[in-house]
Structure 1
């Protein structure tokens, strides 16, 4: 009877850990989606502003300068966004794994 109770508690703890992990994973994916949409909006707006500036450029030198500024800013924004998404993914993985890790520690102790 003791083994059945132990198994039942372990099963319940496993289900609780899985649900907590899935919740953390879900929140992380939602956060990543919001970040991706915000980045896409900012990139589109930045591109639109650059096209407007290019349309108003009077000389080739000015157009090249505007394009260079755009490329530099777009690259910096991309690197910043990639770093942010990487940090978000790492934090999500850590949060989602924490309940499982606790369960494994408990199982080893038993």
Structure 2
């Protein structure tokens, strides 16, 4: 049987990571909109938008990788007792 406290801790960490990413993404969007609202020239708007999109993409990839690794670790620990039981049955 899986130790439920470990499962709960890992799920809590995953939920926290999702919430932190959502918060940082919202703050970045807010800063971008505030910056774009003050721009007068189209070329400046394109430059700011390009910088924002690059930053948003890099942040998304990094956070997705981190959270994906957290899920992978969660499933490994959650299903470890099942795989251990399977090897005991084979012996």
TM-score normalised by structure 2 residue count: 0.86
5+ residue gaps, structure 1: 1-16
RMSD of aligned alpha carbons: 1.6
SS at match of 2:49: helix
| Corresponding position of 1:61 | 43
TM-score normalised by structure 1 residue count: 0.73
| Corresponding position of 2:25 | 43
Question: 1:23-77 deviations in whole A, cap 9, x for unaligned?
Answer: 3332222111100100011001101111111122121110111111111111111
| Corresponding position of 2:88 | 106
Please say which structure displays the higher CA radius of gyration: 1
| Corresponding position of 2:14 | 32
5+ residue gaps, structure 2: none
CA shift at 1:82, angstroms? 1.1
**Number of equivalent positions:** 91
